[in-house]
Structure 1
Amino acid sequence: MKCAILLTTIHSGASDPRVQRREHEELVQAADELGFDVMVAGQHFLGAELRYFQPVPWLAHMARFGPRLRTATGIILLPLVNPVETAEQLATLDVLSDGRAVFGVGLGYSDHEFAAFGVAPGTRVARFEESLALIRRLWSGETVNFHGRFFSVTEARPAVLPLQPGGPPVWIGGQAAGAVQRAARLGDAWYAPPFPTHDELARLRALYLRTRQEAGRPVAGEFPVRRELLIAPTRQAGLAAALERYRARYEIYRKWGLQGENTPVGAGGEQVRTDIADRFVLGPPQECAEQLDRLRTELGMTHFVYKPHWPGLPHAEAMRQLEQFGTQVMPLFAANRGGAA
């Protein structure tokens, strides 16, 4: 079982971007020293509330501060980007990380992003599937002739290729049943977001495994899971602290358009539900380790993706939580599973 640090942002466009860079550098360096295995950075565009630097150059820079860590995009909004450029960007990242890149992708949900790129939201699934197919072909090292609905390539044989044969592993994110089935059919792993409840996560994992089996694809493999986690002296204290952080972050998700199936925002985009006990891992270190161990033993989680940063939370507190996780939760979890991280 591996641990990953998510380099999410708590920084608005009004903040000094150099502060954001320094804080992420500190998080990565600490995670590397604590024994983490992966760093993850996601993608959004034109978000005034939170500043997302683009993940490929961001991860390439951060790799200087975490030289042991794999680099994972979590996630690239594949319907919005050009697959030819993306194939070469990820191949470049794979070379810079010495063959340790992961290609995390998803559909996206924000209307303002689709409008900015001139992409009709109703085409996003078709664009996603076509783009992924073309990217895999471009990573093959063979001459590519590809003529799709949205993209065409003729007699192309790119020189920019990943070090990993066939390209980095593809983690496909999403919480709707259709997204999970798509991950099972087209990806190397389903990257589970933090939005479903614990029960919904278990049902979606079963759907993923069932779909893989029906498609004749191997069911063994990586299963990266994002769960929100907060360490506190008691479960009750953890719930109170988590609620404050959760509201600030998830109101932004809601404003950007997150809603619907297996999310804390209903299909009508109403206010964020606060049933966080069903979505968080929280409490004292021992209880957090036990909850993580259940995700491993009951659902087959192979990577736990941990986010220490929250809007309104001072960076010093995020660093303290990260250190607590690395020194108090990870050793207990390792002991529970009878092995090293």
Structure 2
Amino acid sequence: MMADHENAGYRRLFDGDGLTFGTGFPLTDNRTSRPPVERELELAAHAESVGFDALWARDVPLYWPRFGDAGQTFDTWPWLSQVAARTDEVALGTASVVLPLRHPLHVAKSAATVDRLSDGRLVLGIATGDRDPEFDAFGVDREERGARFRESVDLLRTVWREDFPQVEGRWGDLDGELDLVPEPTTESLPLLPTGHARQELEWIAEHGDGWLFYHLPESTLESYLDDWREAAGEKPYAMAVRSDLADDPEAGPEHVHQGFRAGTAWFREYFRRLEELGVDHVLVSPAGESPEADLQRFAADVIDRL
């Protein structure tokens, strides 16, 4: 029997026995200014056609030059609606929605809308945020991030699962006279807390439908996975790995921020090890100066040969 969050996107990522692969916007690797819209959408369709299982969109409300990364620039929800219209079955992920900076009722409606428009392909990575000036801009106390995150998760589940709910919190009150529309395609949407989200692991295991984490050294990853399986049972574990492709397919690994630069042969063995350790999904970033060719090469030489 399927759980109430297992929509089409969640099943695409986690129903099978093998490791699945996603990639993230901007696919043109333009992270400081507006990426070319038509080119990004063409590449999204291309990534699906060559075998990627998910396309992940960032949530970066405001650009902070010191951070050096504007995400994919466009707001998450309209952007994923555009991507949904240009793709067919690939999962659409958020990596990750910064819940403390967004009103949870807006998140609930926007997410349900994208899920409906994509026939159930939305998977929600959710986070507490890491760009300090944004909290001042939105009038949110950084020290309250953890509590606001928990409240948002509780409200999301409530308004998706219940009709005309009665609930109150620091975000406001629902008195039973208002209902959320549209409803998502499943009773709830899949939620993947990202990183520690300022929560205990036991809370993430109980309230999340999986865990989305960052790149870790393999010995540390093995320890994290042991702790996760003890706390969460068979709930899935997903992780992001920067994966710059070297020109030489036999090139050994060089460490880069949050991952490696290496040839496709080394990446095949690396992802085999991750699969053996129990990782269920990886968010990779092979698209470089020649994104169409890089996505094709990664799919043909890594995904298809695992």
TM category, shorter: 0.7 to 0.9
Among candidates 216, 220, 239, match of residue 200 of structure 1: 220
Give secondary structure in 2 for the equivalent of 1:142: coil
Query: Secondary structure of the residue that 2:163 maps to in structure 1?
Result: coil
Q: Is the 8 A contact 1:56 1:73 kept in 2?
A: no
For 1:59, the equivalent position in structure 2 comes to 80
- Say which structure is richer in helix: 1
Match of 1:158 among 180, 184, 192: 180
On the 8 A contact 2:56/2:95 being kept in 1, the answer is: yes
- CA RMSD in angstroms, aligned pairs only: 2.3
Pick one of 271, 286, 292 that aligns with 1:308. Answer: 286
Show the counterpart of 1:228. 242
* Whole-Å separation in 1 of the counterparts to 2:53 and 2:64: 31
Cα deviation for residue 43 of structure 1 reads 0.6
Measured against aligned partners, the alpha-carbon deviations of 1:125-178 in whole angstroms (never above 9, x if no partner) come to: 11000011011100014221111244322113223210112x221111015784
Tell me how far 1:225 sits from its aligned partner: 1.6
Residue 235 (structure 1) shift = 6.7
Report if the CA contact (8 A) 1:91-1:162 is conserved.
yes
In the aligned structure 2, how far is the partner of 1:186 from the partner of 1:141? 17
RCO higher in 1 or 2 (8 Å CA, sep ≥ 6)? 2
Q: Match for 1:11 among 22, 27, 30?
A: 30
Taking the TM superposition and a 5 Å limit, the aligned residue runs for 1:183-194 are: 183-194=204-215
* Partner in structure 1 of residue 7 of structure 2: none
Relative to 1, partners in 2 of residues 1:201 and 1:208: Cα closer, same or farther, differing over 3 Å?
same
Q: What are structure 1's unaligned runs of at least 5 residues?
A: 213-218, 247-278, 334-341
SS in 1 for 2:86: coil
Equivalenced residue count is 280
- In structure 1, how many angstroms separate the alpha carbons of the residues matched to 2:260 and 2:253? 9
Q: CA deviation at 1:26?
A: 2.7
Aligned positions of 1:10-159 closer than 5 A = 10-11=29-30, 15=33, 17=34, 19-49=35-65, 50-51=69-70, 52-155=73-176, 156-159=178-181
Given that 2:253 and 2:266 are in contact with CA atoms closer than 8 Å, whether structure 1 keeps it comes out as no
CA contact (8 A) 1:139 1:161 kept: yes
Deviation at residue 231 of structure 1 after TM alignment: 2.7
8 Å CA contact retained: 1:282, 1:288:
no
**TM-score of the pair, normalised by structure 1:** 0.75
How many angstroms apart in 2 are the aligned matches of 1:60 and 1:179?
Answer: 33
Matches within 5 A, 1:242-261: 243=256, 246=257
CA distance in 2, matches of 1:36, 1:162: 24
User: Cα gap change, 1:324/1:234 in structure 2, threshold over 3 Å: closer, same or farther?
Assistant: closer
